Amino acid sequence: MDLEPSLHGEESPEESTPEFHWYHKASALLVIIFCLEVGLFLIAFPWSEYWETNFFFSFAPGWYQFWQNAYARGAVSGLGALNIYISFQEVFRLRRFARGR
């Protein structure tokens, strides 16, 4: 074991690359699938016919006009687009896991 510091702040290749186990890849894959499914649901559901008969509308009937507004539906769809974006970012991060091997 060398106790002297390395020149120019260089690290050995073993120290600079982290070790990824199978459960890191599996959890990343689960996050990708979850975010993609939630995103697709949030994009499509506000514009479907089931949006008007939503179970949660009965809890606050005064909010019915707000949730029927196209801007509110668009905001929910925007959250779905954000989830899809997150899932694609996770796909690219998962590719970095695969490159390490």
Res. 11: pLDDT tops 60: no
What's the pLDDT score for residue 52?
A: 85
Asked if residue 35 is part of any domain, the answer here is yes
Torsion of CA 33, 35, 36, 40, to 10 degrees: 140
pLDDT at 58: 80
| pLDDT for the residue numbered 55 | 81
Tens of pLDDT, residue by residue over 25-50, are: 888 899 999 999 999 999 999 999 99
User: Per-residue pLDDT for 85 more than 90?
Assistant: yes
Task: Report yes or no on 9 lying in a domain.
Answer: no
Please check whether residue 67 lies inside any domain of the structure.
Answer: yes
Answer whether residue 74 is part of any domain.
yes
Domain containing 33: what range? 20-51+60-99
| Tokens 């509110």 belong to residue | 72
In a domain, 5, yes or no: no
Tell me how many domains the chain contains. 1
Dist. CA 55–CA 65, nearest whole Å: 15
pLDDT of residue 35: 95
Residue 7 lies in a domain: no
